[in-house]
Amino acid sequence: MSEEIVARRGTPTSEILDENGGRKRSTAQRRWRILAKALTGSQEPITADRDDQVSVRRFTSFDLLEIDRLENAPDDPDYGWHEYSAILENKPFSVQIRRIKKSFTANELIGFNNTGNVCVWPSEECLAYYLLKNREICRERRVLELGGGMSCLAGVIAAKYCDPSGVTVTDGNVTSVDNVRCIVARNGMADFVQCRVVQWAKAATALRRATQARAFGHTHPNGLRVKSWTGSGNDVANNVLESLYDVILCADCLFFDEARSDLVETIYGCLANDGLALVMAPRRGSTFQKFAEAAVKRGFIARQIDRYDGKIWSRHLELLERSQEYCPDLHYPILLELTKQKRTPPG
């Protein structure tokens, strides 16, 4: 896909009247209809109103990784295999990623977020590159990626090159997770990387219940055990989190206001004491700041880093000068480091 569809939340997500003052429908549904129109190749113009603040952008990449189509990959009209590669410190790094080519219907898009199936977003690209440059972050640690979309590129890079003790990659959409399973298998990591469907609202509810159970003395020897993340689907029986994670990765997952508290709770509940969460996303108005504030309120220590990598920052400055399509508020990912310190009892 050559266009980035950005939906920014300018109004509450409660139901609103349509343009004729008639049947109500949610703001999210209206935005997904616009997104579906773009993805299915409709010739109708994509416009934004003051409620939706929807914009169409053509910026898709900071060109941090070289992308080459693989000609010897399995032939499939709906999918294409590409190699994502980079040379750092004279060392080659590459992973093979399966990208979905088909168009999506409105029914596929409306409901749970399916945008991750469309492309690898710049934030995921930057997070993957950042991990390659800072491989010690994940070394000998349990790593979890939340909302990894159709590629879970950052999690796959971490699994292949950062020497973690274990990796779990997740998304809330079954199509995404099925695609990632194919990616993990093709990169020879099926025995090492777990792929799971995790929807934050249901995960957060389960984690809150687990916290309440611990408060009443019903603890699990591994510290945490949460079942039925999704509540439905083929992965339910396997979705059991048996221990906490040392590093959590999350790229471009902050633009839904209604999901903010659930994502914060999911990260907090899954992160080990003294663990680190790397959250990378553009500012998009106040959405990044609101997420950071919600994380601090939950108990995280938050550190916001704008200039976290020299090459990414240089590309950002170049784009500011040369690209009319580049909008930092929508495209430049800020890094938010969240740490969870072990609480000591008073006295």
Tell whether the model's pLDDT for residue 86 goes beyond 80. yes
Q: What is the pLDDT of residues 235-292, one digit of tens each?
A: 433 343 557 999 999 999 997 888 999 999 999 999 999 999 999 999 999 999 999 9
| Residue 20 vs residues 34, 36, 154, 168: alpha-carbon distances, Å | 18, 22, 44, 47
Domain count, the chain: 1
Query: In sequence order, what are the residues at sequence separation of 6 or more whose Cβ sits closer than 8 angstroms to the Cβ of residue 86?
Result: 64, 65, 66, 92, 93, 94, 129, 132
Residue 208 to residue 272: CA distance in whole angstroms: 16
Q: Name residue 246's amino acid.
A: D
Write down the pLDDT at residue 345. Answer: 53
Asked if residue 347 is part of any domain, the answer here is: no
- Interhelix angle 287-298/260-270, nearest 10 degrees: 40
Residue 94 burial by Cβ neighbours in a 10 Å radius (0-12, 13-18, 19+): middle
Q: Which of 37-41, 49-53, 328-332 has the highest mean pLDDT?
A: 328-332
Asked if residue 259 is part of any domain, the answer here is: yes
Asked if residue 214 is part of any domain, the answer here is: yes
Write down the pLDDT at residue 120. Answer: 80
Q: Which of 2-11, 53-62, 240-249 has the highest mean pLDDT?
A: 240-249
Q: How confident is the model at residue 2 (pLDDT cuts 50, 70, 90)?
A: very low
Q: How confident is the model at residue 29 (pLDDT cuts 50, 70, 90)?
A: low
Asked if residue 345 is part of any domain, the answer here is: no
| Bridge partner list, 194 | 168
Write down the pLDDT at residue 285. Answer: 94
- Interhelix angle 200-215/260-270, nearest 10 degrees: 50
Read off the tokens for 288: 């990044």
Read off the tokens for 70: 């693989």
| Better pLDDT: 4 or 132 | 132
Q: Where are the beta strands (DSSP E) in 159-253?
A: 166-171, 193-197, 245-251
Least Cα distance to 328 among 339, 340, 315, 337 occurs for: 315
Write down the pLDDT at residue 33. Answer: 52
Tell whether the model's pLDDT for residue 114 goes beyond 90. no
Read off the tokens for 142: 């349990």
Asked if residue 174 is part of any domain, the answer here is: yes
Report the pLDDT averaged over residues 165-190. 94
Asked if residue 260 is part of any domain, the answer here is: yes
| Better pLDDT: 144 or 111 | 144
Write down the pLDDT at residue 60. Answer: 86
Asked if residue 210 is part of any domain, the answer here is: yes
Write down the pLDDT at residue 267. Answer: 96
Tell whether the model's pLDDT for residue 95 goes beyond 80. yes
Task: For residue 147, give its domain range.
Answer: 4-340
Write down the pLDDT at residue 14. Answer: 30
Q: Name residue 344's amino acid.
A: T
Q: Where are the beta strands (DSSP E) in 261-345?
A: 271-281, 301-305, 334-340
Q: In what order do the strands lie in the sheet with 301-305?
A: 193-197, 166-171, 142-146, 245-251, 271-281, 334-340, 301-305
Residue 230 to residue 250: CA distance in whole angstroms: 19
Tell whether the model's pLDDT for residue 1 goes beyond 90. no
Radius of gyration of the chain (CA): 20
Write down the pLDDT at residue 99. Answer: 87
Write down the pLDDT at residue 280. Answer: 98
Share of the chain above pLDDT 70, in %: 67
| Better pLDDT: 218 or 212 | 212
Tell whether the model's pLDDT for residue 160 goes beyond 80. yes
Is residue 130 within 8 Å of residue 280, measured between CB atoms?
A: yes
Write down the pLDDT at residue 209. Answer: 85
CATH number of domain containing 266: 3.40.50.150
Write down the pLDDT at residue 125. Answer: 96
Is residue 139 within 8 Å of residue 164, measured between CB atoms?
A: yes
Q: What is the pLDDT of residues 292-338, one digit of tens each?
A: 999 999 999 999 999 999 999 999 999 999 999 999 999 999 999 99
Handedness of CA 229, 277, 161, 79 (dihedral sign): positive
Write down the pLDDT at residue 243. Answer: 74
Is residue 282 within 8 Å of residue 32, measured between CB atoms?
A: no
Asked if residue 346 is part of any domain, the answer here is: no
Mean pLDDT score of the chain = 78
